[in-house]
């Protein structure tokens, strides 16, 4: 369960919260929930996302079930440091797509007394730690791992399986391109994909 930091008014300091998990696990939904609560409390909130993420909207952070919040797209992580002025809370979505500087940026913001809430995929489609996410999780005060439901077994899913044979690390997509799978279902699907690939190579 996520517990918010108790504020010591004599020693105000920021902190980092990381929300991670597979695709379709509700990461962005949870990010938006926390940010809207902060806005309701009249806190000054700024939200950022990488310019590469244009799946639903160019300027808004949008969850799979269409929850939305206004954001500022940025090309590189260092831009966040320049734009996050006079704020109480900074939200960052799709953090896995940022360069490694995002870790330093988040820590710099927290050291300035800002609450930083970061959401991102913890693993890529190959099941490997994704970009700067491990370092963000290591330096955060709070880490929340959310899970999807496996489309094959109904168990908890923590893997994002890519249905196509595309090997590029970054391929934007939704349910047509990816599906959440449990550990057993994921490795079974990977084996089947490898066998199918070998059969194609033999035919050629």
Task: Give the residue numbers marked as catalytic.
Answer: 94
Report the distance separating Cα 125 and Cα 105, nearest Å.
Answer: 26
Sign (positive or negative) of CA dihedral 150, 153, 159, 162:
negative
What would the two tokens of residue 72 be? 């500022």
Residue with tokens 């919260």: 17
Report the distance separating Cα 132 and Cα 191, nearest Å.
Answer: 28
What would the two tokens of residue 103 be? 């870790």
Report the distance separating Cα 67 and Cα 194, nearest Å.
Answer: 37
């Amino acid at each position: 369960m996520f517990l918010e930091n108790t504020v010591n008014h004599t020693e105000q300091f920021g902190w980092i919260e990381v929300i991670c998990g597979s695709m379709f696990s509700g990461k962005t939904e949870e990010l938006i929930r926390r940010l809207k609560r902060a806005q309701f409390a009249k806190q000054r909130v700024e939200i950022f996302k990488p310019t590469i993420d244009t799946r639903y909207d160019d300027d808004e952070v949008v969850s799979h079930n269409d929850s939305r919040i206004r954001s500022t797209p940025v090309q590189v992580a260092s831009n966040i440091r320049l734009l996050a002025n006079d704020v109480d809370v900074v939200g960052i979505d799709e953090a896995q797509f940022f360069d490694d500087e995002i870790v330093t940026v988040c820590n710099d913001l927290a050291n300035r007394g800002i609450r930083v809430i970061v959401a991102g995929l913890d693993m890529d489609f190959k099941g490997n730690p994704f970009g700067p996410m491990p370092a963000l999780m290591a330096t955060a005060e709070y880490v929340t791992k959310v899970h999807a439901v496996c489309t094959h077994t109904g168990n908890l899913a923590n893997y994002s399986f890519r249905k196509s044979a595309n090997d590029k690390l970054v391929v934007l997509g939704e349910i047509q391109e990816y599906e959440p799978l449990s550990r057993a279902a994921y490795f079974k699907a990977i084996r089947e994909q490898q066998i199918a690939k070998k059969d194609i190579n033999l035919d050629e």
